[in-house]
Structure 1
């Protein structure tokens, strides 16, 4: 079974672990360098991004892992150095990576609105992020987001619930970045003046919408917190793909673990929130329908 690692330095890693358990995916908390070697994908959760960066350096996570993985006898290269080389190596290796909220900031190539002195970034995602675009904790909010591309790929409704907690936003994206969701800029948000770097003029963000979810290659990033909702479709984007046969096994394990088979009619399955997200929002499905309903998640090339 594929293993999803959740960076467990600080923040909402417990919520991600619980969400992985709900959908029958094996998750492991990643704190030690060697644990990065044993996972098939990685989730970088929400939290306080500056604190997470400091904890990564305090535990020497990035340096120690890179030193263990790097071997000049295997084909050259240089000593990886101290600045997030392990996470950068993982992101660059092509395995699925998903960053939520603070994780989005970590994965961005550039961040503005940072604290004095800034913070280290893992990078890999060709975008510019504003660290606290939506304001303070008191300005956290929930809203419905239009996600037609997610619906097309993973099935279910073409909207999802977005939970924004002291959230960042994406100001600019490169040509290879696919935009998955944007949202209106709240009318009560204080105006933000943005400086894109030394020697550039400051400008006020004046657009009425802002980007909150993107994908580039193996990287998925959301400014909001899907792990705090019942919509499991985002986890499919942040986890390694499985074969149809494995998916069916996982679904049946979930059905049995949660007692979803109708005791009065064994061929009928009562859908909880997880199954509804897989089966187009249906309350019930027939046992023999499951394989057909999975077609939406396994499109033919």
Structure 2
């Protein structure tokens, strides 16, 4: 059985757990560094990236999270989670975890009241996936190893770099669990690769 952790410092944690379990994997809320050893993949949920960064620093998660990425264990950042994964942030000198070769613009689609939902076509996931955008970031530019999975207008809103996945929107806030299932599949493949 694949076990997916959801970083439980802030954000829509329960909704991600529900989506993971609906996709046939075990979901656990990650509250301690030690728990990172027990999981096959990690979701960094949406929330407020500055607050999340403060809590990551407070509980000593930064280096263990970077190590998790170095070990090529799958990580999936949604909304604020995408900001945490990005190597570059527009208007900021320093990245957070900084493991994914993308440049991200924060709050790119406007503030909370400008939240919206839109059907997206997502490569290897499917058509008409409802993207829920809440103060969402978007990807401004990508490194050569990064694949664009989905765009909204001209903007890149879902990207993948090997074992790293990021989305501007909140897939966990709908009853469509295809993105969670896609990530569970990534974790399965990574686990098989390790065994081989």
Q: Structure 1 length as normaliser, TM-score?
A: 0.59
Instruction: Give how far 1:56 is off.
Output: 1.4
Would you say the 8 A contact 1:30–1:36 is kept in 2?
Answer: yes
Counterpart-to-counterpart distance in 1, 2:99 and 2:182: 17
Q: Structure 2 length as normaliser, TM-score?
A: 0.90
Candidates 141, 157, 181, aligned match of 1:212:
157
1:265 corresponds to which residue? Answer: none
2:110 corresponds to which residue? Answer: 135
Aligned residues: 187
Structure having the larger proportion of residues in strand: 2
**Where do residues 251-290 of structure 1 align in structure 2 (5 Å cutoff)?**
none
Higher relative contact order (CA 8 A, sep 6+): 2
Helix, strand or coil at the partner of 2:124: helix
Instruction: Give how far 1:231 is off.
Output: 2.0
Instruction: Give how far 1:225 is off.
Output: 0.7
2:128 corresponds to which residue? Answer: 159
Instruction: Give how far 1:119 is off.
Output: 6.2
Candidates 93, 97, 102, aligned match of 2:75:
97
Would you say the 8 A contact 2:89–2:95 is kept in 1?
Answer: no
- Structure 1 residue 150 and structure 2 residue 97: aligned? no
Counterpart-to-counterpart distance in 2, 1:103 and 1:89: 17
Are residues 127 and 120 of structure 1, via their aligned partners in 2, closer, same or farther at CA, if it must alter by over 3 Å?
closer
Instruction: Give how far 1:145 is off.
Output: 1.1
Would you say the 8 A contact 2:158–2:166 is kept in 1?
Answer: yes
**Where do residues 12-161 of structure 1 align in structure 2 (5 Å cutoff)?**
12-60=12-60, 62=61, 84-113=62-91, 120-147=95-122, 149-151=123-125, 157-161=126-130
Question: Which consecutive aligned stretches of 4+ in structure 1 deviate over 3 angstroms post-superposition?
Answer: none
CA displacement, residues 133-172 of structure 1 (integer Å, 9 cap, x when unaligned): 011101110001122x224xxxxx4231110001000000
Counterpart-to-counterpart distance in 1, 2:51 and 2:159: 24
- C-alpha RMSD of the superposition: 1.5
Tell me, which stretches of 5 or more residues in structure 2 are unaligned? 190-196
1:196 corresponds to which residue? Answer: none
Are residues 119 and 58 of structure 1, via their aligned partners in 2, closer, same or farther at CA, if it must alter by over 3 Å?
farther
Tell me, which stretches of 5 or more residues in structure 1 are unaligned? 63-83, 152-156, 185-208, 243-301
Candidates 140, 143, 165, aligned match of 1:174:
143
- Looking at CA atoms only, which structure, 1 or 2, has the larger radius of gyration? 1
1:228 corresponds to which residue? Answer: 173
